[in-house]
Amino acid sequence: MTKKCINVGLIGCGVVGTGVANNLVNGIAQKRHLPCELRLKRIADLYPHKERPYKIPLDLFTTNADEILDDPEIDIVVELIGGCDFALKVITKALEKKKHVVTANKALLAEYGREMAALAKANGVDLYYEAAVCGGIPVIKAIREGLTADSINNFRGIVNGTCNYILTGMCKYNMLFEDAVKAAQMNGYAEADPTFDLIGKDSLHKLVLLIANCFGQWIKPEDIYTEGIMDLDQTDIRCAEELGYVIKLIAQAKKRDGKLECMVAPTLISKKSLLAGVSDAYNAVEINGSPIGRTVYYGEGAGMNATSSAVTADIIDIARNIYYGCEGRLPVFALEGEKCEKVPTDEMEMRYYLRWKTDDKPGVISALSQELTEREIGISSVILHEFAKAQPYSIVTFMTRETTEKKMRDAVQALNKLDCIQSRTVMLRVESGF
Ligand code: HSE
């Protein structure tokens, strides 16, 4: 017999949790999409009396998560605590108790996703996590439902709103990195301690989940080269601009000769590409597949409204599965993909941007290019930037042709020993193959 009422238990009522509670208590969206009642039965949070922007009935609250996990009437548990310790216990217990789970916890899924997926499968329940990747953008749904006919060749994304906000400030308003970070904090985009975003770890977690869905491969976070934006200098933003590029923190993965290349790094993106126009705290993911071709998904990647929309949609999706008796309809990750080996970082092939502050004298360009030529690294452009014209030094950039990461790193070590340079080599990746 189909259920008339599906009960939800929410664990963690912070910013996103409050949005979800409001959607469920006061929302109407599910009425259009569900033939049964969806009820928020209980909320577990340590601070029931905290001031919240929406009125959530106080009698729904408990401070004990077990009241939800042990309640046989609760069908769907929503985990919005964050972190990997207590949240892991909550999700594990919920799945073992045969409750469906919705979470936004990318860090936990990137570390324990496979184990949690196996547990969900063993217990015949769903584990949904749309909000873990790009907040409100339904990109996981697009991949595992909209693109099921396609073989995905590559994808790349701006998946961290904080970094994109900071880079936009540096690029559009010439802000220094430190000032752009402060602005992101003042405007509520960056956390008080934004390290996790700035070092690229948040993007890395999202990349792991995107790879699992696009390629059916599980690549561990520690196996993916990750570079954040903390060392980016305003000078490089200006040089990139003169070269026709913008610098974005890009999480990308692509198949090349049947192998998988993936990385998170600040990358020069052509000003003409759609991703170059993604500003402020917005996210976007570009996915190229066959037969579909190029697709792009754009929207808000964080915040109460966008993220609670994704969580609530997951709840509704699972409620539908329960109502129609088709739980487990979608695999947690597309993990049965054709095995394709990950290319070691050293062997990845890319184009590179190199930048130096050098002595202003003849012979500098030939000394720099000689180091590259000796290693068979092709150069596609050499520029002495105009904005440093009145200075007693030169700002020089080289753009290279495709070469391997290993060759490039070796070259940089040698370049750093040259007497004519006044600063260490700045090496950034340039988009290629998209
Ligand atoms: N800190 C993340 C971001 C929030 O800035 O995109 C959502 O993961």
Considering the domain boundaries, does residue 391 fall inside one? yes
Residue 387 is predicted with a pLDDT of 77
pLDDT band for 336, please (50, 70, 90 cuts).
low
Q: Is 182 a catalytic residue?
A: no
3-state helix, strand, coil in the chain (%, to 5): 40, 25, 35
Considering the domain boundaries, does residue 338 fall inside one? no
When divided into structural domains, the chain yields a total of 3
pLDDT band for 29, please (50, 70, 90 cuts).
low
Q: What is the pLDDT of residues 170-185, one digit of tens each?
A: 999 999 999 999 999 9
Ligand 1 in reach of 202 Cβ (< 6 A):
yes
Q: Give the phi and the psi of residue 378 in degrees, each rounded to 5.
A: -75, 145
pTM, two decimals, is: 0.96
> Are 157 and 15 members of one domain?
no
Closest ligand 1 atom to residue 159 Cα is 6
Catalytic pick among 106, 141, 201, 206: 206
Closest ligand 1 atom to residue 191 Cα is 1
**Ligand 1 test: best mutation among 16, 106, 197, most atoms within 8 Å of CB?**
197
pLDDT band for 1, please (50, 70, 90 cuts).
low
Considering the domain boundaries, does residue 337 fall inside one? no
**Ligand 1 test: best mutation among 108, 162, 264, 307, most atoms within 8 Å of CB?**
162
Considering the domain boundaries, does residue 235 fall inside one? yes
Question: Which residue, judged by its Cα, is nearest atom 2 of ligand 1?
Answer: 160
280 neighbors 168 (Cβ within 8 angstroms): yes
> Are 32 and 123 members of one domain?
yes
Considering the domain boundaries, does residue 334 fall inside one? no
Domain that holds residue 371: 345-430
Q: Once rounded to an integer, what is the mean pLDDT over residues 243-252?
A: 97
Ligand 1 in reach of 135 Cβ (< 6 A):
yes
> Are 200 and 290 members of one domain?
yes
Ligand 1 in reach of 105 Cβ (< 6 A):
no
Question: Which residue, judged by its Cα, is nearest atom 7 of ligand 1?
Answer: 302
Residue 337 is predicted with a pLDDT of 63
Ligand 1 in reach of 75 Cβ (< 6 A):
no
Q: Give the phi and the psi of residue 148 in degrees, each rounded to 5.
A: -65, -20
Q: What is the pLDDT of residues 108-122, one digit of tens each?
A: 999 999 999 999 999
Q: What percent of the chain has pLDDT over 70?
A: 98
Considering the domain boundaries, does residue 140 fall inside one? no
> Are 49 and 98 members of one domain?
yes
pLDDT band for 335, please (50, 70, 90 cuts).
low
36 neighbors 3 (Cβ within 8 angstroms): yes
Q: What is the pLDDT of residues 85-96, one digit of tens each?
A: 999 999 999 999
Closest ligand 1 atom to residue 132 Cα is 8
Closest ligand 1 atom to residue 301 Cα is 6
pLDDT band for 434, please (50, 70, 90 cuts).
confident
Reference 394, options 426, 422, 375, 431; nearest CA is 422
> Are 155 and 295 members of one domain?
yes
Ligand 1 in reach of 317 Cβ (< 6 A):
no
Ligand 1 in reach of 197 Cβ (< 6 A):
yes
Longest dimension (CA), the chain: 84
